[in-house]
Amino acid sequence: MIPESFRGWFLGASTEWPGVEPADVEIGDVKALAARYPDAAEDLRALEQRTDDSRQSFRSQDISDPARA
pLDDT tens per residue across span 8-55? 666 677 766 677 777 777 768 889 999 999 999 998 888 877 766 665
Q: Determine the pLDDT at residue 20.
A: 73
Distance, first Cα to last Cα, the chain: 48
Q: Is the pLDDT of residue 59 over 60?
A: no
Query: CA quadruple 56, 29, 14, 12: dihedral positive or negative?
Result: positive
Which is higher by pLDDT, 56 or 68? Answer: 56
Q: Which residues, 6+ apart, have CB-to-CB distance to 16 below 8 Å?
A: 25
For 22, how many CA atoms within 13 A lie in the half-sphere containing its CB?
A: 15
Separation of alpha carbons 25 and 23, rounded Å: 6
